[in-house]
Amino acid sequence: MTKLQELEILAKIEKLIQSAGADSYIGMTFSGIVEVCLDNIKNDFGACPVEDLKLAREGRDAAQKELKEKNAELERIGGALHALEEKLAAVLKSLHKLAQDSYAENRAKLEAMPIDADESEVAKVFRNMKLAEAAFKLSEE
């Protein structure tokens, strides 16, 4: 079939489509098809809007499936993160209590030391008290 013959057939098809009316199902379905056919004939193209639509729908479906999977993964990660936050809060609470107790214990030791206590022992207790104080402050942040 020649291009001229195809153009003649296309003209007949266009008249049929137009006779159905723009707001008919046929008119809506074939909207833009005549132009695609004309481009195909003039430029030796093989564009197929129905195939393009099928591929677009498949792409959309694949994207929706992937989005659903990613959302489920985000929910799992969110749950795991929440569990970790709870564990971290419990650890910080324990650290806070341990540091508080250690500070109080070392302060009591320091206060109970005699005046002639060994300086290295005093320094050790004082250092432990300062470390406990630092841990206590860190656990409050």
Domain chopping of the chain, boundaries: 1-47
pTM (two decimals): 0.54
- Over residues 2-30, mean pLDDT: 93
Q: What is the pLDDT of residues 64-110, one digit of tens each?
A: 999 999 999 999 999 999 999 999 999 989 988 998 899 899 889 98
How far is C-alpha 106 from the geometric centre of its chain's CA atoms? Answer: 49
Q: Specify the pLDDT at position 64.
A: 98
DSSP state of 98: H
- In DSSP notation, 10-55 reads HHHHHHHHHHH-TTSHHHHHTTTHHHHHHHHHHHT----HHHHHHH
